Amino acid sequence: MKTLIQQVKGTREFYPSQMEIRRWLYSKIEEVSIRYGYQEYDGPFLEKIELYAAKSGEELVKEQAFVFPDRGGDLITLRPELTPSLARMVAEKQNELVYPIRWWSFGPFWRYERPQKGRTREFFQWNIDLIGADSPEADAELVAICASFLRTIGITPDQVKILVNHRKLVDQELFALGIESDLKKEVFHLIDRHEKMKKEDWESSAKEMGLTQQQIVGVVEIMQDKELWRKSPELIRVFSALESLGVSEYVAYDPKIIRGLDYYTGIVFEAWDVGGDGRAALGGGHYDNLVGDVGGKPLAGVGFAMGDVMITLLLEKYNKLPVSSQYKDCVLVTVFDESLLTSSLTFAAELRKNGIKTIFYPEIAKLQKQLKFADRLGIHTAIVIGPDEENLGNLAIKDLPHGTQEVVKRSEAIDKIKHLLAQQSRV
């Protein structure tokens, strides 16, 4: 064991049972994305560092990206997010695309960070964006997609809530307190971190960045005002749209939601475990000028990203992960001895020809061992062809969950097995 080369820190190994979950997640994401009329796309996994340098969060690129020189000396980055690539892809074909664009993607991303609960260095992310529309109803659509997804995977509104806020509203409120420009950015950050900090620490940091006592009180009032959204014409329309879309039970207004990324200019939202701990399972918002940063004409949009790690933890916590079913509908054809190997092999082929998932025991072993193998894999049906059956042109069909066995004519076996599999799948 000691000679095994360790895997790269924070990377993921997907054993079949985990791969099954990953594919299931992908299928649910696809289902919801398609239901809302979105098209799948993808960008490169490798990008030049310059693509991210202009925007994103400063730290996201400088400290959290995997960067290495290629043979030509260019600095190459393993993509830490998809949005800049998306912006470029839109800019490249800006005049031929039909707006609004509805695109989604699911793929791997890398961030050079210290792994911990809910965070790895290699992860999969669902990105979904509506670009070229600039209305509260467009914003609401993305929140609704998020809610529909939660509903589709079996997460209920009392388990996970989507918390919504609007940056223009916060801007306006902070402006009223005399907080603007650089200081505003710092206060955004402070609001974002409020939940994690002790009250005294929070207040002392607020003072440190130069807020007056009056301003601090004002910020605290903003953070506690659950009715503040009524001052935002945009949010009023967003919540009204969400009501019409039938997902408002999943949504709540929260004045503390800000988000770290600088490019959000309108609605911002995150999905949180109501049980409190952990981190946001998903986050997104509205941006005014995404495409402009990479050289296109300004184009507004709204989108969100969801990582596979946190959502899987939530599914696990609420016991909503799919139950493995890989071998339920599979038939094991056992091998009795060398003289009957060909007979079993032939029958296995016949099963497959009829579209039945079939495993052939690949060597001669005790029946006991072969049946134990079937049991361990969760196979429900086993075929035994021994001398007694073979001589009469029969074979034995074992129903493992019921512990029963039926000897039938080989010519009738396929129909019997199909019937049995159909019965078992109903259980």
Partner RNA sequence: GUGGCUGUAGCUCAAUGGCAGAGCAUCGCACUGUGGAUGCGAGGGUUGUGGGUUCAACCCCCAUCAGCCACCCCA
Q: Which positions touch RNA (CB under 7 A)? A: 1-2, 6, 9-10, 57, 59-60, 64, 81, 111, 113-121, 123, 125, 189, 192-193, 196-197, 259-261, 270, 277-283, 305-307, 309-310, 366-369, 371-372, 374-376, 384, 386-389, 396, 398, 400-403, 405
- Tracing tokens 């060597």 back to the chain, one arrives at 363
Shortest separation between residue 95's beta carbon and RNA, angstroms: 29
Shortest separation between residue 98's beta carbon and RNA, angstroms: 27
Whole-number Å distance between alpha carbons of 416 and 165? 60
Shortest separation between residue 396's beta carbon and RNA, angstroms: 5
Shortest separation between residue 126's beta carbon and RNA, angstroms: 9
φ and ψ of 73, to 5 deg: 95, -5
For RNA, the closer of residues 324 and 405 by Cβ is 405
For RNA, the closer of residues 30 and 113 by Cβ is 113
Shortest separation between residue 230's beta carbon and RNA, angstroms: 27
Amino acid letter at 267?
A: I
For RNA, the closer of residues 151 and 279 by Cβ is 279
Helix, strand, coil content of the chain in percent (nearest 5): 45, 20, 35
For RNA, the closer of residues 197 and 236 by Cβ is 197
Shortest separation between residue 233's beta carbon and RNA, angstroms: 26
Whole-number Å distance between alpha carbons of 183 and 219? 13
Whole-number Å distance between alpha carbons of 219 and 377? 58
Shortest separation between residue 293's beta carbon and RNA, angstroms: 16
Q: Which residues of 242-258 are buried (b: 16+ CB within 10 A; e: fewer)?
A: beebebbebbbbbbbbb
Rounding to the nearest 10 degrees, give the CA dihedral for residues 13, 17, 21, 23. Answer: 80
For RNA, the closer of residues 241 and 281 by Cβ is 281
Whole-number Å distance between alpha carbons of 298 and 97? 14
For RNA, the closer of residues 173 and 273 by Cβ is 273
Residues 6+ apart with CB under 8 A from 251: 143, 147, 161, 162, 164, 239, 242
For RNA, the closer of residues 312 and 358 by Cβ is 312
- Please classify residue 113 by burial: count the beta carbons closer than 10 Å to its beta carbon, then call 0-12 exposed, 13-18 middle and 19+ buried: middle
For RNA, the closer of residues 6 and 95 by Cβ is 6
Residue 308's CB is within 10 A of a number of other CB atoms, namely: 21
Shortest separation between residue 132's beta carbon and RNA, angstroms: 21
Handedness of CA 198, 196, 169, 273 (dihedral sign): negative
Shortest separation between residue 398's beta carbon and RNA, angstroms: 5
Angle at 251 between CA 272 and CA 175, to 5 degrees: 85
For RNA, the closer of residues 91 and 313 by Cβ is 313
